[in-house]
């Protein structure tokens, strides 16, 4: 349950979208999770699995169709607009698209300072400036001559992503929602950025890290939740999930991830059109191990420190 020190508590969360082609689609279904202060969680799944939708629900940008959301101990359903604003100010958000998320008219340093300006006003700026500079240096933008140039004209995607990281951390958030924050980084800088996030976790920040890369998820977070088409497949300690994946979808994700010197293996998608069954296991049309039972939705069963939603796992 929601209790003091809980950063995030989700109970049986559901979101349904209506689309012309497919009718009603469950974007999220039956999601429950609990994060204490300083916990780190990775959401893993392919495009369309509901990772970004989940972040939007947590920030109160999208009202869920069902279930409960407690953010920093507050029930989002009962929050007034002002309370929601206050809650959001305690959360950092690194959106997926570094091209779309930074104000086009601001310089690098202004982009990082903007949250301070909004929350603390002009008088807070002198102090915030030192901090913004420190964060930019930390994020690898250590050339101050770049700080006064406009984000739009001078920065690559990877550099924008680092500005967006500094911007999300400048108010020392209690919870950071990072949506594929290293997607445009080289392998060598990916690890460095995760190090930065981990330093903030040490001071008590909680972290939700969204990625489609299980290896990166393990590096960034203690626990992993694997999503497929909005449904939880598997949840547990990162190391155990990567070393011994229980759900066939988790195994497919691992086999598809490039690894040094190994062939990547793809799970067949079947026909492009089917696979939108509304009942049963959402993965069954692509699952190599599917059976008769899979026509009904498997429950998320607890197995020691892990949970898995698959009829074949005992």
Which spans of this chain sit near other proteins (rule: CB under 8 A)?
Answer: 21, 46-48, 156, 158, 186-188, 190-191, 194-195, 198, 212-213, 215-216, 218-219, 238-239, 242, 252-253, 255-267, 269, 271-273
**CA atoms of 79 and 32, how far apart (whole Å):** 20
Minimum gap (Å) between residue 314 Cβ and other proteins: 26
Print the SS3 string covering 225-276. Answer: EEEECCEEEEEEEHHHHHHCCCCHHHHHHHHHCCECCECCCCCCCCCCCCCC
Of 69 and 221, nearer to other proteins (C-beta) is 221
- In order of 112, 246, 249, 258, 265, the CA distances from 262 in angstroms are 41, 21, 19, 7, 9
Minimum gap (Å) between residue 286 Cβ and other proteins: 9
Beta-sheet pairing, 175-179 with 206-211: parallel
The SS3 of residue 31 is strand
The SS3 of residue 87 is helix
Minimum gap (Å) between residue 206 Cβ and other proteins: 18
**CA atoms of 203 and 171, how far apart (whole Å):** 13
Of 123 and 263, nearer to other proteins (C-beta) is 263
Of 65 and 237, nearer to other proteins (C-beta) is 237
Of 1 and 260, nearer to other proteins (C-beta) is 260
Minimum gap (Å) between residue 56 Cβ and other proteins: 18
Minimum gap (Å) between residue 147 Cβ and other proteins: 16
- Least Cα distance to 60 among 31, 93, 100 occurs for 93
Backbone angles phi, psi at 16, to 5 degrees: -120, 130
Minimum gap (Å) between residue 60 Cβ and other proteins: 26
Of 56 and 218, nearer to other proteins (C-beta) is 218
Of 167 and 190, nearer to other proteins (C-beta) is 190
- Say how many Å lie between the first and final Cα of the chain, rounded: 27
Minimum gap (Å) between residue 272 Cβ and other proteins: 6
Structure tokens at 235: 């949840």
Backbone angles phi, psi at 197, to 5 degrees: -60, -40
Of 26 and 192, nearer to other proteins (C-beta) is 192
């Amino acid at each position: 349950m929601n209790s003091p020190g809980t950063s995030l508590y989700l109970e049986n969360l559901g979101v349904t979208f209506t689309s012309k082609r497919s009718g009603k689609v469950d974007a999220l279904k039956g999601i429950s999770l609990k994060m204490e202060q300083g916990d780190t969680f990775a959401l893993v799944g392919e495009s369309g699995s509901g990772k970004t939708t989940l972040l939007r629900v947590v920030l109160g940008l999208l009202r869920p169709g069902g279930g409960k959301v407690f953010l920093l101990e507050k029930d989002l359903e009962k929050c007034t607009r002002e309370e929601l604003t206050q809650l959001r100010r305690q959360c950092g958000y690194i959106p997926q698209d570094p091209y779309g998320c930074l104000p086009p008219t601001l310089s690098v340093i202004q982009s990082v300072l903007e949250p301070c300006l909004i929350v603390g006003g002009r008088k807070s700026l002198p102090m915030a400036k030192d901090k913004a500079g420190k964060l930019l240096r930390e994020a690898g933008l250590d050339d101050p001559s770049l700080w006064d140039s406009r984000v739009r004209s001078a920065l690559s995607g990877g550099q924008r992503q680092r500005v967006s990281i500094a911007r999300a951390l400048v108010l020392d958030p209690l919870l950071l929602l990072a949506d594929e924050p290293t997607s445009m980084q080289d392998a060598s800088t990916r690890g460095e950025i995760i190090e930065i996030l981990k330093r903030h976790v040490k001071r008590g920040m909680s972290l939700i890290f969204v990625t489609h890369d299980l290896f990166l998820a393990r590096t960034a977070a203690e626990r992993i939740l694997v999503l497929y088409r909005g449904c939880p497949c598997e949840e547990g300690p990162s190391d155990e999930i990567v070393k011994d994946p229980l759900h066939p979808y988790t195994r497919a994700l691992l086999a598809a991830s490039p690894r040094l010197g190994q062939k990547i293996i793809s799970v067949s998608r079947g026909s492009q059109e089917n696979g939108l069954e509304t009942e049963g296991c959402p993965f069954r049309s692509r699952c190599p191990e599917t059976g008769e039972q899979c026509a009904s939705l498997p429950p998320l069963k607890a197995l020691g420190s892990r949970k898995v939603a698959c009829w074949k796992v005992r």
